[in-house]
Structure 1
Amino acid sequence: MRALVTGGTSGLGRAMAAALAGVGATVALTGRSARRAETVAGELPGAIGIELDVRDEASVARAVEQVWSRLGGIDMLVNNAGIGMRTVNPRFMTRPQGFWEVPADGFRAVVETNLTGYFLVAREVAPRMLAAGGGRIVNVSVNESTMRRAGFVPYGPSRAGSEALSRVMAADLRGTGVTVNLLLPGGATVTGMLPPDAVSEGHGFLAPEVMGPPVVWLASDEAAGVHDERIVAVDFERWLRERDAGRS
């Protein structure tokens, strides 16, 4: 399995890249800083680090070409790169802003990363997968409550858009051999998107490693043909049992 994980230098992306590398996958992880990506990749067996700004078409095309060439192909794309509410309101947990208070450039930056970024990377990878005869795309999402929570413009709308994008991608790719699935933690997770004071106060946040088992399963032979599913990491074992029971 050859996997490309965007936003793989920290948080959920790093946890998923580590889980995939841990079961023998060859992983390319990306970040806006080439040095940071290479450093993190150096900590994982057989991984490589690539500079990628998901907002920039030229950067996306260049990075995907590098990964495809160095890995000899891409079997799985994990669309994960994103930025959170801290970029527009560092105190969003304690002092949420109304949407009318959000600066337009901050709105655009979040949407361009969390939504347009998913589109640009998948648009570059999908034709290669189609030509190769198949592949797997996993788009990372969040709880639906986050998409409509007060004070969560623009993060909520950006994630709602990426989820809708995933559903349309799945419809477009149905029957092609390229699968598309959604994966989300199932609760607030300790990542760089959270304010440091919120993490230090200990609000029962999930560890990023919760994403490991489901993403490893989605890369496995058992998941071949699994398409247009929305998998919640904290409920993964129950979901898998129910799926297996329904097939027996």
Structure 2
Amino acid sequence: MTKSEQILLVGCGKMGGALIEGWIGRGVMPSAIFVIDPMQPDVPTGVSIRDGFEAIPSAFEPTVVVLAVKPQVMDKVLVPYADVVRSETVFLSIAAGRTIASFEAILGGDARIVRAMPNTPAAVGRGITVLAGNANVSGAQREACESLMAAVGKVAWIDDERLIDAVTGVSGSGPAYVFHLVEAMAAAGVTAGLAPALAMQLARETVVGGGELLGRSAEPAAALRENVTSPGGTTAAALEVLMSEDGLTELMTRAILRATERSRELAG
């Protein structure tokens, strides 16, 4: 994404706000960003914001239209934007459960569409976003979309859009699993005799620190696990439970497959 290209952001909730901050941090000029949101949230100085499509200046020709509204209102919101479909414009959707085909049905078969599945750590620049585009998207447009999402974390592409459902199960919903792990560890600590506040502090900092260690290390997760595990020690005793036939791997598999199934259901 070059500094001179223009971005239209439709919807500016938590994810939209994180994206704007990330774009500006990577050198996009605030004047190149135009936001449409009826709630008129605060935006950085220099970013233009209006409450509806009709307020877009006729001279504003966005390179990328980022769709960040709730899936249930997407159809109503999207209809007027068919007027801005042109070969130079790509639509980048971060709405969960909305397929590329559903956008083509409204914007037309010639529309350039990229579907994204980000996750909430994008709010602190540590997200992971998976992208899938239709056949109309050019190489330059792929690069532009990747650059925009890279402003809030890592980016990966998939060729088969259907895999977005599995992506949703692993990384889209994944932060909630990590947060629940903290809750479960803290609850177990209380059962073992710790005060609730201390148990939560220990669980929280262990997960935060473990994630940071994993992020900085070139070693795979399995190697880091083995580094902590002394034969016959306390960690080995705990892992014997977690790695049993009906342990954490089995439970996590069931959870992720259920999330994947639900993603398919929501997409229709």
TM range (shorter): 0.3 to 0.5
Tell me the TM-score normalized by structure 1.
0.44
> Relative contact order (C-alpha < 8 Å, sep 6+): which is higher?
1
Tell me the TM-score normalized by structure 2.
0.42
Choose 1 or 2 for highest CA Rg. Answer: 2
